[in-house]
Structure 1
Amino acid sequence: MLEKKDISLEKVVLIGVVTREQDEDMSKEYLDELEFLTYTAGGEVVKRFTQKLDMPNPKTFIGTGKMNDVQEYVKEHEVGTVIFDDELSPAQERNISKILNCKILDRTNLILDIFAQRAQTSYARTQVELAQCQYLLPRLKGMWTHLERQKGGIGMRGPGETEIETDRRIVRDKIALLKEKIKTIDKQMAVQRGNRGKMVRVALVGYTNVGKSTLMNVISKSQVFAENKLFATLDTTVRKVVIGNLPFLVSDTVGFIRKLPTQLVESFKSTLDEVREADLLLHVVDISHSNFEEHIDSVNQILDEIESKDKPTIMVFNKIDAYEPEPYDEEDLVVERTKANYSIDEWKQTWMSTIGDNALFISALNKDNLDEFRKRVYKEVRDIHVTRFPYNHFLYPDVEDIE
């Protein structure tokens, strides 16, 4: 995925498995995502290893023969980090570390590390530290002995670096303190939300890197940090937006991802209060991504976990400028036509047709179809506002009168 070699990036090897639940295509897709996560964390993937297994090896995750191949490659190419696509048990992590004699991470640890890099506010840092401590607690025994000579780098940020010599009691005490700190900040934020009055609240939700922050910048005319990396946004940003003469609040939240660590879902549930308390969700989808349907399912699953799946929702299919269907020869009787060959118009005739006018197709970057987007959001916000304040309906024009 990386076109240019960067000598400042850590050399990383990725390891995934092909199982009955996860076929080769899905495994490749997960490893592609893991490579993007690795790049976001500051690593360069130099090799991938995959193995077909009925179930992962309980001792070393992959089989002995494949582990020997990895060991030879790591030693020959002086690779410092090996990352597994699934969460490793503490025992697996210790066993693999002894064999490979390098830094061993799993997807959970990698995502936690990216969050540690990206956390800007005290609140976000506290949430990430809590998640890291909860991940670290069962892994304390012998976890760091092979890393005594190493400092810094992927997976070594946050409490991992400062808590190496501590015992379980101290980490448990720290977890309790962090939870209390989060409770205190939660109360302060609840007061802030209460002070916003009865304005309609709209929350941007979606998979990571789908363009939520770019869309936020366009509609609120503000400068929210946005870049083409995973989890560019951790701290919830709230902006006041006015369409027509109707003011409402829009919040940009942390992006979701498949196999999101349970520790992060738990510790970031308070951040997701903005989603829980929203009157309207704008579910932003990167339609140019080959697996956007799976991304939608992942987001819906997390929305269900935080009891927000049944809220009024507009599906915003973003990045139409980057969408390119795979070419298909109609005269080829061997190759079957699939969804990958659909044009956007053909997609609109699929399950998307059941969404009706709650499906919008835009490019936030190129500002394509943003007038339609603004009018649709205005209509929904106006309906919610008029329901809440029926005597104010004459103050706000119908959507047809919005310029």
Structure 2
Amino acid sequence: MNAREHLVDILPEWMKSARFRITVLYSTVLFVLAAVVVGTLYFALLSTLNHQFSQPLEVRDFNRNGVLDERDQEAAALLRVFDNQVETRTLENMKRYSFVALFVLFIVSLGVGWVIAGRVLSPIGRITDVANHIQATDLSQRIRLDGPADELKHLADTFDGMLTRLDEAFNTQRQFVADASHELRNPLAVIRTNLDVALANDHANEEELRQTAIVVRRAAQRMSRLVDDLLALARLEAPAKLAETVDLTVVGREVAEDFSALAGGRSVTIELETGAPATVAGDRDTLKRAVANLVDNALRVVPERTAIVIGTGRRDGWVWIAVEDQGPGIAAEDQHKIFERFWRPDGSRARTHGGSGLGLAIVKQIAETHSGTVRLYSEPGKGSCFVLWLPASGREGDTDQNASPVPEVSPLARPVVA
């Protein structure tokens, strides 16, 4: 430890504060400026007095012989001595009073500077108090600083905004953990119950044991899908590299081929409709997963002998890929909830269809990772159309780069024939 650090350590706490440093700086600057002003006045007065007393005496009267009387000469000498004494005493008094005034000014400036620095730094004290009272389980504290829109208020508002974002993130995380625990508890309960029943039945035949194994396997598969989706969401929250040029038409065709056998087993056809070239800078695997989630979601709800349409296109600097089904549709009041984690509406899209409740949340996360959005067009009884809108690669050639990427009508909507 060097001498400077040792000196700082032995100082009292109040002398280590920014308030003390600002006070000393303020007082020192004020003292130096005042000393310069007083010194300038002192030397100006000294120069003026020296100039005046260096002037020769003007003799206005002589005696009849043309010379000064001896008494007049003595008076002139006394006058000069008196003036010199007055000058010296005046300068000494001014010097003494100046030193006293500067000392008093410095002491007063310390007190005034301490008060002013305290008022200026009070928002920082409030920020410190709020930060000290924040707990991991309670982020409701806010500074809410009033006053002019200066740097300190901007700092306090920024701190409040950070706390709000952290509070929302922690609440979302807690809700996510609670929902995930609830979702995992159900298949675990199914597995445990069926195994307990099988173990308790000493006379269970092979068919009963087989049926128990099928139920347990189905529950385990559901748990596996849920864990896979949780891992996918966690990976998507990390920054992604979007350096690859992806053709959404190719992505749509590959997804259609991947699901063709599963769709055929349910008497459902998958159709592909392509428009203008739809290329985007992104991650091919995650975009394919998003489209696959939409097709998988559609296959769970569409009736037999219907079609699922995968379409692509381009509009005003944006490319889109859509998945349209002829399922039961989604009510308007539920559409803003459809992309929430673990949310399922009543009816045909319920848990009985085997989804993890994370598929559409993953789709939304993938769209946002690619600086895009996902939009749902749906009416009860008329099916649903999910559309991913993504910034097109090479947007410079489009006519309107600032146009809204979300039209009011689905890009796959067919014109109504009168």
Q: TM-score range by the shorter chain?
A: under 0.3
Larger CA Rg, structure 1 vs 2 = 2
Higher helix proportion: 2
